[in-house]
Structure 1
Amino acid sequence: MDDIAKQADEMETLNAIYGSDWNMGSGGERGHSIEISHGTTIVNLCFTIPKDYPSKAPPIFEMSAPTLNKDEKEKIYKALNEVFAENLGEIMLFQCIEKVREMIGIYEPDVNVPGHSAVLQTPESIVLFEESVECPLIIHGETIEDRKSYFQAHVAVLRCEEQVKVVLNTLKKEPKIAEATHNILAWRFGTHRDYDDDGEKAAGSRLLHLLELLNLNNVIVVVSRWYGGILLGSNRFRHINNAARQALVQAGMINQ
């Protein structure tokens, strides 16, 4: 896939994730922008995309953040340059946006974002009482197929955080789901939230952001992906989000 095709896929993915927050075409012919806000903090990022991005050149960005002081802005500039260095040759706009979201406090410290999911580090009390926690009704969405890869979402309403582990374990009792290449997870309950990429880098955080955009709480979404041997590029994130949306519609949690 050439640079132009990768750019088009990335724009489609970002538009699916951030919706109207992602403004395509502002700031110049190849410029795109997004406003990131948390409390009284507002950060505007504008990206100019070189024709040879991502293979040879990183995006060029400008930042406007009137509520941040000089030191805070410098920390963000430094962090974004580190993202550039870590992702040379790869698309990176999502990583840049999520890094800023993290730094201005959108993700609370106990949320464990980014990083290893707390779902895999369940406290002893949850493990001990897991058998006494009832598994909620799990709705299984339709399967999406693309070049021999398959995606299917599973959603449920949570009545307590302990059910996160119960839902995941219940799903993995199904041989087909247990054998999936990735079982990507995101959940929100009250003020707590978390995700697990399960080896599909950045997929869990995208799924969590989808729940936040839809303002869904007390819900868990797991998207199973069976890899078919053909790389899908950023299309895989679009399929993960679309599978999740379809399952949420099927469960009656959102409108079509």
Structure 2
Amino acid sequence: MRTLDNILSDRGSKYAVSGAPCTSVEEARALVAALKTNKKFARATHNSWGLRCAAGPVKNDDGESGAGMIILRMLEREGVDDHLVVVTRWYGGKHLGGDRFRHVQDAVRAYLDSRP
């Protein structure tokens, strides 16, 4: 899994984005579990993810309401299938309101732009 760490910071919250080729929900869950073997990611407040695969679109907000749908929409717009994208957030103590959605978009954009 490729990870771009510390890509955004706002009011104490920090963001990272990770991704890997993935073709099933089971594989996605295994990849997220593997990401969480890193203590830093295991302690994150949210590991939200989205996947478009043959089984259909799948998302997990992990407590960050709406984040999974944003990831899915961006994958759809870019025509990216069979690829898992995980946006990780470490909560910094201050609510971000609607800015958190922009940060999820920015994180996914950074990941998609960095793909070979």
TM-score normalised per structure 1: 0.43
Quick check: which one's strand share is greater?
2
Shift of 1:172: 0.8
Shift of 1:157: 1.1
CA RMSD of aligned residues (A): 1.2
The structure 2 residue matched to 1:165, chosen from 21, 26, 29, is 29
* Residue in 2 that maps onto 1:71: none
Structure 1 segments of 4+ aligned residues over 6 angstroms from their partners: none
* Residue in 1 that maps onto 2:108: 244
* Residue in 1 that maps onto 2:62: 198
- CA distance in structure 1 between the aligned counterparts of 2:96 and 2:29, rounded to whole angstroms: 30
Q: Deviations over 1:68-127 (max 9, x none)?
A: xxxxxxxxxxxxxxxxxxxxxxxxxxxxxxxxxxxxxxxxxxxxxxxxxxxxxxxxxxxx
Larger Rg: 1
Give SS of 2:100's match: helix
* Residue in 2 that maps onto 1:139: 2
* Residue in 1 that maps onto 2:50: 186
* Residue in 2 that maps onto 1:177: 41
* Residue in 2 that maps onto 1:123: none
Gaps (5+ residues) in structure 1? 1-137
- CA distance in structure 2 between the aligned counterparts of 1:212 and 1:179, rounded to whole angstroms: 29
Bigger RCO of structures 1 and 2 (CA < 8 A, at least 6 apart): 2
Give SS of 1:140's match: strand
TM-score normalised per structure 2: 0.91
- CA distance in structure 1 between the aligned counterparts of 2:87 and 2:104, rounded to whole angstroms: 6
Shift of 1:142: 4.0
* Residue in 2 that maps onto 1:33: none
Give SS of 1:193's match: strand
Q: Deviations over 1:192-250 (max 9, x none)?
A: 22101111111111111111111110100011000001111111111111111111222
Q: Deviations over 1:55-78 (max 9, x none)?
A: xxxxxxxxxxxxxxxxxxxxxxxx
* Residue in 2 that maps onto 1:211: 75
